[in-house]
Structure 1
Amino acid sequence: MCGRYATTQTSASLHQAFEIDLANSFVELEADFNMAPTKLAPLVIGRREDESASAPQRELLTARWGLIPSWAKDPSIGSRMINARSETVAEKPSFKKAFARRRALVPADGYFEWYASPPREGEKKPAKQPFYITPKDGSVLAMAGLYEFWKDRDADEWVVSYTILTTTAEDDLGHVHERMPLFLEPEAYDEWLDPAPRATDELLGLLVPAAPGRLDAFAVSTAVNNVRNNGPELIVPLAPE
């Protein structure tokens, strides 16, 4: 799964990285080295205002992490919807409508996973060591996401929320955690973001694990375990013992 990640890009750098072409999609962003569920994070979506256009327009906005289905009675369900398994996303009631029409890119510098080491003698639970997984070349990851609109009737406002698609981890990362996010390459952005209906197999075919050798994984401080901790020290590799 993906339960924490880092996103430190500015609105301007995301406009450049994802070729966002709507002038009104400039949003104020703050660096977050410990992005956690229910927080607001940058999201890239596609809109098709002109049906004759060859590709959807890309828009940058902020959304709450943890998808809230349109039929939910309250937003608390979103805390259990931070990830969607790619193997079942097209059939699950919570995700299938968003998968059909509301697909997104979730920009990230990298993400965290926790490795559960075998318990030591006398320990009831295994110790969990956080690892930070990030592109070796410093590029921005485009994690595959879905988004949804939910009406908060008490506040009389709409909430935009999202989830991140996951798959079985590749061999070189599977030793850290069995699941990992799915990604999109730039040539697949338009097809994924286009709200027009597409065949399930066609959509899933756009999603890829990170190319072998592209990502680096290294142990980091357990300070990331506390969501109140937030700074560049969270993504610094631990010194060898």
Structure 2
Amino acid sequence: MRFEREAPLARRLHCTPGMKLPTLLTLSAVFLSTPVFAETFGFMVPAALSLEQAKETVFDRGEVRVTDKRIDDVHGVRRFGDTQFHPSVPVLIGERYVLRDAGGREHLLKVRNVIDGQMFIDLTSADPAAQKPPAIQLGRYQLASWSVNGEELRTGFPTLELHGDGTFQLGSTRGTWRQDDRGLLLDGYYAAWGAGALTGENKDRIVFQFVRGSAWVKTVLARIPDTGDASVASAR
């Protein structure tokens, strides 16, 4: 998998100790434009990543090591618009990076944000089967967890209903939904949530991660099992 050159973002910001991170939050609303499926997750830095598994791993075993200032890859890393690979590059909020694994395959990593020592990223998998997400299951989804800046909080939340005609209902709100390579997209007020990624063993959970004011919000919705046919969606 090869990622082509793209024009750089209009604004680049370094994550340095003197910066006020909440002022950078608006940049994290920029999502991957490259049509590949990515895992989105957060972790405390410093940390190590497994490119093969697209997840955090034991620090002394990871081929990629990440701090709030640098990304190190023993096989080479470059900024998305560059051609030259380096052993280490600085962390830029909103930047995308191409990383190589031991087999020479390239992976795309996007730094969404860094908040209180926790980094949020998008990371592709080298597994071709993971490059396209499965179709979203229709039905009703209830709140499984809700967290702000990594702290899980209790809150009331209405049920999300996804219908086969491409419409949804969330409490008293009605609108249309669609799915692309990033996940579930709702229109109207909930368009600000961005794309909800499919997770779980049966891909029956939808995870939205978005910025609200000065907070990074993570909302996890779990599908409510039913006795009918759990048909999948086609609103793409």
- TM-score bracket for this pair, using the shorter chain length: under 0.3
TM-score w.r.t. length of structure 2: 0.25
Larger proportion of strand: 2
Larger proportion of helix: 1
TM-score w.r.t. length of structure 1: 0.25
